[in-house]
Each structure stands twice: as structure tokens, then as C-alpha cells.
Structure 1
Amino acid sequence: MEWKLEVVVVPVSDVDRAKLFYEEQVGFTVDHDTRLRDGIRVVQLTPPGSPCSIVVGKGVIDAPPGSVKGLQLVVPDIEKAHAELKARGVQVSPVQHFVAGGRVDGHGEAWNNFVFFNDPDGNGWAVQEVPSAVSVGSGNG
């Protein structure tokens, strides 16, 4: 049996602000913006090429806004991803890699090139470059 991750709920304080950030600045596609009833709104957004989406909304999760850390995207070209995020106005870290558990500016070995950013509420994202021999979304990242 296959088990596929479909959606990750990201707690936010302002749904409209989060929707604009993820759509306009990060470049996610808005799949739907649905108001189920008073007090419940679900906005689903998907990163380009990803089989998994995020949901931001009102009345969909009890976690405090900004409490999700370690969300991770994978890309084939970290420099291109960094440039795109920066051009879209995202406050993104320089390209960094890990040495002895700490982050250091600059490129590392294969699988060890990242950029980091937070959404307006402080939910934390990492973007990791995958080696070109491994396809994005293969489950090997």
C-alpha cells in the first residue's frame, strides 16, 4: 500500500496575508480558497511541481501561528531558488550548509546546500538543493 502525504496545515494569524505571501512571494499556486461556514476558511496552496500542498486558514488547526518549523522544499538549483525568492521580496538567508550541526554560509557537498526563510508568522522553511541525478519528489530528499 502506498502512503502519500497530501497536505500540511500551517497555522497563521492572518489568512489573507498568508495567502498573499505564499502565492505572490513564494510562488505557490492557490488551489482553492473555500469558506465552509462562519469561522471556517480553508486556503490550499501547492508549490510548483509538488504533489503535497499546504493549507492555511481559519478554524482549521489549534496550533499557535508560527509554531511550525522545519518545513522543507527541494529544488534542483539552489542559486536559482535563492534568486527567485529574493526577487519576490522574501527575506531569505544566503546559501548555507551544515558543519558539525551548525549553519555556515556558502556551498557544501551534495545534499548540503540550503536557504531558509520564514512566513510572516514565523513558520520556518528550508529549501534544499538535491543532486541532479535524483529527481525532485522522488522521496529521496
Structure 2
Amino acid sequence: MKFISVVSVPVSDQERAKSFYLDQLGFTLVAESTFGDDLRWIQVGIPDAQTSLTLVTWFDEMPPGSLRGLVIDCEDLDEQYRTLADRGVPFNGPPSRQPGGVFAILSDPDGNQLSLRQAGS
């Protein structure tokens, strides 16, 4: 094995989720296509990162909003927090020290929770 390439994020509305991840979080569109019976593959990612996210609607076992524990490392968490909060990204609170670094938890439109982390701070 080499690395994790794609993580599935369960969403209810792919267009709304795509807008959030691109416009508010600043991700880029990696791929978008249709497949199967009217299914869409929408893959977004942080520029220059190996791992990306696909915004999925087709896993019954993964209801929209059920993602927890995805951690995104940041060089300057305070700056990233302010930038994203100014773009209307909802956070559970300000950055706080936890085991493993300083974290700020944000939610996408479906309630999926992603943690921003600055290690070693």
C-alpha cells in the first residue's frame, strides 16, 4: 500500500456540497462525471494533496452527515479558522488544544464534521 487516495463523504445534495467544498473551503474540482443510472462522481481536493474527497449519495449505509473524524492539517490554524469563518463556514467553536495538537471542527451543509488541526502547537 502507498497512500489513501479518496475518502467518501456522504451528502444529500451533490451540487450544494460541491459549492461548499469549492467556494467556502477553497478545495479544487478534481473530477466530475456521470456513471451508472444517473449517478454522479464529484471529486474535490486540497490543491497539491494526494488524498481527495468524493461527494457520494449512493451508499445506504452512509447517511448524509454521518462522517466524523476526518482531519485536515494546517500550517496556521488560527489564520485558516478566521479565513473560513469569514466565508461563512460553521465551526463548533474556536480552535482548542486537544491531544495531538490544536483543533477546530467545522461542519458541511449536511453536518459531516471535519477537523482542522495544527500539530505540535
Aligned-residue offset at 1:35: 1.2
3-state secondary structure, aligned to 2:66 = coil
3-state secondary structure, aligned to 2:115 = strand
Aligned counterparts of 2:74 and 2:120: Cα–Cα separation in 1: 9
Aligned partners of 1:9 and 1:56 also within 8 Å: yes
Larger Rg: 1
- Aligned residue type for 1:89: G
Q: Identify unmatched segments of 5+ residues in structure 1.
A: 100-110, 133-141
- Report the TM-score, using the length of structure 2 for normalisation: 0.89
- Residue matched to 2:109: 120
User: Identity over the aligned pairs, expressed in percent?
Assistant: 34
Equivalenced residues, count: 119
3-state secondary structure, aligned to 2:72 = strand
Aligned-residue offset at 1:3: 2.1
- Residue matched to 2:85: 86
Aligned partners of 2:78 and 2:95 also within 8 Å: yes
Aligned partners of 1:39 and 1:58 also within 8 Å: no
Aligned-residue offset at 1:38: 3.1
- Report the TM-score, using the length of structure 1 for normalisation: 0.77
Aligned partners of 1:40 and 1:57 also within 8 Å: no
Superposed CA RMSD in Å reads 1.7
Aligned-residue offset at 1:51: 1.0
- Residue matched to 1:53: 52
Aligned counterparts of 1:58 and 1:78: Cα–Cα separation in 2: 30
- Residue matched to 1:23: 22
Aligned-residue offset at 1:118: 0.8
Aligned counterparts of 2:96 and 2:47: Cα–Cα separation in 1: 23
- Aligned residue type for 1:84: T
Q: Identify unmatched segments of 5+ residues in structure 2.
A: none
The structure 1 segments of at least 4 consecutive aligned residues displaced by more than 4 Å after TM superposition are none
Query: What are the residue-to-residue correspondences of 1:4-43 with 2, within 5 Å?
Result: 4-43=3-42
- Residue matched to 2:76: 77
